[in-house]
Amino acid sequence: MNFKSTHTNIEIAIIGGGVAGLCTAIALKDIGIRVTVYERVNQLKGLGAGFGLAANAMQALAYLGLREGVEKIGHFLDSYNILDHQGRILLSPDTSLLSDRYQEDNFAIHRADLHRFLIDQLPKECIILGKEAIKISEKEEKTIIHFADGTSANVDAVIVADGVHSKIRRQIIPTASTRYSGYTCWRGVISNSTVKLKSSSETWGPAGRFGMTPLVNGRIYWYACINAPEKSPLYKTYKTADLLRVFKNYHAPIPKIIGETDDEQLLWNDIVDIAPLKKLAYNKILFIGDAGHATTPNMGQGACQAIEDAVVLQDELKKSKNIVQSFQQFEQRRLKRTRYITNTSWQIGKVAQWDSIFMIGFRNTIMRLLPDSIKQIQLRKLLNEDFMSTHK
Ligand SMILES: Cc1cc2nc3c(=O)[nH]c(=O)nc-3n(C[C@H](O)[C@H](O)[C@H](O)COP(=O)(O)OP(=O)(O)OC[C@H]3O[C@@H](n4cnc5c(N)ncnc54)[C@H](O)[C@@H]3O)c2cc1C
């Protein structure tokens, strides 16, 4: 079937220009669909420090022809350890398992670098900035997006990629709401650090969790999670000096990395997800990325799943010219995998954030004693499933 000829008259709008929206725009454009991304902000900068692109995401990027470009701006990760607060190894997940399974490596990347790269793959006229979608309606064969500035867009279908706090999800699925994880998180990136970080790690200790990863050009991305009430006015005012106080007894180079971070570089968010949805496809409206399956960051899979979404949707749209059917097939292929990640990540977060000395001692002893085969169980489950498989 000559796919391009079947879809040339179709116009799809994407709400949100994050990783999910941009990758999906690239995927749809590549198969000849006219696509427009409507983004709320006036400038797309890719806020949010860095993140890991695991081998499954690199494979999805390869399907889109983007792997080599991303590898050039990503930092190759050859290892990852979970440590206790004194720096002793608790778990050394075998990331080579993931690489072998997908025949790809694991990378860390600065979010702004990835955004710039993805934007460069799209014609300028594909992205319209300063357009906040507030509502979607359907009239006859058309789907209509209503924007905050009073304008609207009539298209054949809409892909909703407006993130975990999705306004459109609130309209279409009012019962779905965000869940607060019980921990709050600061993120930062430092350039020209005196610390020459070689590998990526996450430290679990009584004061909270601290993760650090090298990026290209000598930069370091880090995050710190501590247990806290939701939307705490106290933590809202926290600066690096406060975090330094919290993590002062943690192993090197954690205090140094916090100390070298400018306060203006600090990003603060409560960690939330959404309880797994029962549906992602609503006639000609489809939820993808965090808007459809936001997860806590404990498996480093949120953006990776958004990239997989783009590839699976492209695959389904290639097979059928019936958009409703393609959206339903997409839902079938994505619900189980994303539900597994959301639920597992939620559980990992609970254990990683234990702050009772007794429970920490128990957890750390078990983690040291357990055989590797058991410790890697979550990783294996993620691996056992090929995201491109159509058998669910
Ligand atoms: C601390 C932390 C660490 C993480 N680490 C990792 C990691 O290591 N690996 C990984 O894979 N993932 C990680 N993630 C998850 C990852 O950041 C998200 O899963 C990913 O960014 C989701 O992309 P998205 O495009 O769905 O949503 P977003 O990135 O939230 O993008 C949504 C876009 O929609 C726009 N928008 C919002 N509302 C509207 C509207 N009404 N109209 C128009 N536009 C709108 C927003 O401005 C934004 O540009 C982490 C997340 C956190 C919080």
Which is the closest atom of ligand 1 to the Cα of 288? 26
User: Where residue 57 falls among pLDDT bands split at 50, 70, 90?
Assistant: very high
Q: What tokens appear for 196 in the block?
A: 């020459």
Mean pLDDT of 347-376: 82
Q: How many A from CA of 164 to the centre of ligand 1?
A: 7
Give me the pLDDT at residue 165, please: 97
User: How far is 152 from 156, CA to CA, in rounded Å?
Assistant: 13
347 or 44: which leads in pLDDT: 347
Q: How many A from CA of 103 to the centre of ligand 1?
A: 26
Ligand 1 contacts CB of residue 300 (under 6 A) = yes
Average pLDDT over the chain, rounded to whole? 92
Indicate which CATH number applies to the domain containing 264: 3.30.9.30
Domain identity same for 116 and 213: no
Domain identity same for 127 and 174: yes
Q: How many A from CA of 267 to the centre of ligand 1?
A: 14
Q: Is residue 369 part of a domain?
A: no
Q: Is residue 144 part of a domain?
A: yes
Q: Pick from 248, 271, 294: which residue ends a domain? A: 271
Give me the pLDDT at residue 5, please: 43
Q: How many A from CA of 19 to the centre of ligand 1?
A: 7
Q: How many A from CA of 7 to the centre of ligand 1?
A: 29
User: How far is 6 from 3, CA to CA, in rounded Å?
Assistant: 5
What does the pLDDT look like over 91-108, one tens digit per residue?
887 777 767 777 788 899
Kind of pairing, strands 106-110 and 75-77?
A: antiparallel
User: Where residue 347 falls among pLDDT bands split at 50, 70, 90?
Assistant: very high
What does the pLDDT look like over 307-329, one tens digit per residue?
999 999 999 999 998 999 999 99
Q: Is residue 281 part of a domain?
A: yes
Which is the closest atom of ligand 1 to the Cα of 48? 17
Per the structure, how many domains does the chain have? 2
Give me the pLDDT at residue 185, please: 97
- Identify residue 152 by its one-letter amino acid code: S
User: How far is 221 from 219, CA to CA, in rounded Å?
Assistant: 7
Which is the closest atom of ligand 1 to the Cα of 44? 49
Q: Is residue 317 part of a domain?
A: yes
Domain identity same for 222 and 278: no
Give me the pLDDT at residue 390, please: 67
Q: Is the pLDDT of residue 385 over 80?
A: no
Q: CB within 8 A of 234, min separation 6: which ones?
A: none
Domain identity same for 264 and 279: no
Q: Is residue 389 part of a domain?
A: no
What does the pLDDT look like over 21-35, one tens digit per residue?
999 999 999 999 999
Ligand 1 contacts CB of residue 39 (under 6 A) = yes
Name the DSSP class of 40: S
Residue nearest atom 38 of ligand 1, based on CA coordinates: 162
Q: Which of 26, 36, 39 to mutate to test the pocket of ligand 1 (most atoms within 8 A of CB)?
A: 39
Q: Which of 128, 186, 290 to mutate to test the pocket of ligand 1 (most atoms within 8 A of CB)?
A: 290
The DSSP string of 348-370 is: HHHHHT---HHHHHHHHHHHHHS
Q: Which of 101-105, 147-151, 181-185, 222-226 shows the lowest per-residue confidence on average (mean pLDDT)?
A: 101-105
Residue holding tokens 């000609």? 284
Domain identity same for 118 and 167: yes
Domain identity same for 282 and 343: yes
User: Where residue 374 falls among pLDDT bands split at 50, 70, 90?
Assistant: low
User: Where residue 3 falls among pLDDT bands split at 50, 70, 90?
Assistant: very low
The structure's pTM equals 0.94
Name the DSSP class of 159: E
Domain identity same for 283 and 261: no
Domain identity same for 21 and 36: yes
CA triple 98-100-105, angle to 5 deg: 65
Give me the pLDDT at residue 382, please: 66
Q: Which of 39, 41, 47, 51 to mutate to test the pocket of ligand 1 (most atoms within 8 A of CB)?
A: 51
Indicate which CATH number applies to the domain containing 46: 3.50.50.60
Q: What phi and psi, each to the nearest 5 degrees, are found at residue 265?
A: -85, -10
Q: How many A from CA of 251 to the centre of ligand 1?
A: 30
Mean pLDDT of 352-367: 86
Residue nearest atom 4 of ligand 1, based on CA coordinates: 297
Mean pLDDT of 363-379: 74
User: How far is 241 from 261, CA to CA, in rounded Å?
Assistant: 10
Give me the pLDDT at residue 78, please: 86
Mean pLDDT of 199-214: 95
Q: Is residue 92 part of a domain?
A: no
Q: Pick from 222, 239, 271: which residue ends a domain? A: 271
Ligand 1 contacts CB of residue 133 (under 6 A) = yes
Q: Is residue 310 part of a domain?
A: yes
Q: How many A from CA of 162 to the centre of ligand 1?
A: 8
Mean pLDDT of 247-267: 96
179 or 1: which leads in pLDDT: 179
Give me the pLDDT at residue 369, please: 78
392 or 78: which leads in pLDDT: 78
Using DSSP, state whether 3 is helix, strand or coil: helix
Residue nearest atom 51 of ligand 1, based on CA coordinates: 297
Q: Is residue 70 part of a domain?
A: yes
Ligand 1 contacts CB of residue 20 (under 6 A) = yes
Domain identity same for 34 and 113: yes
Which is the closest atom of ligand 1 to the Cα of 168? 41
Q: How many A from CA of 109 to the centre of ligand 1?
A: 14
Q: How many A from CA of 359 to the centre of ligand 1?
A: 33
Ligand 1 contacts CB of residue 188 (under 6 A) = no
Domain identity same for 62 and 129: yes
Q: Is the pLDDT of residue 170 over 70?
A: yes
Mean pLDDT of 168-195: 95
Mean pLDDT of 172-201: 94
Ligand 1 contacts CB of residue 19 (under 6 A) = yes
Domain identity same for 188 and 236: yes
Mean pLDDT of 354-360: 87
* Residues 346 and 181 sit within 8 Å (Cβ to Cβ): yes
* Surface-to-core class of residue 210, CB atoms within 10 Å of its CB (0-12 exposed, 13-18 middle, 19+ buried): buried
Give me the pLDDT at residue 371, please: 72
- Find the domain containing 235 and state its range: 183-271
- What percent of the chain stands above pLDDT 90? 76
Domain identity same for 277 and 257: no
Q: Is the pLDDT of residue 226 over 90?
A: yes
Which is the closest atom of ligand 1 to the Cα of 164? 30
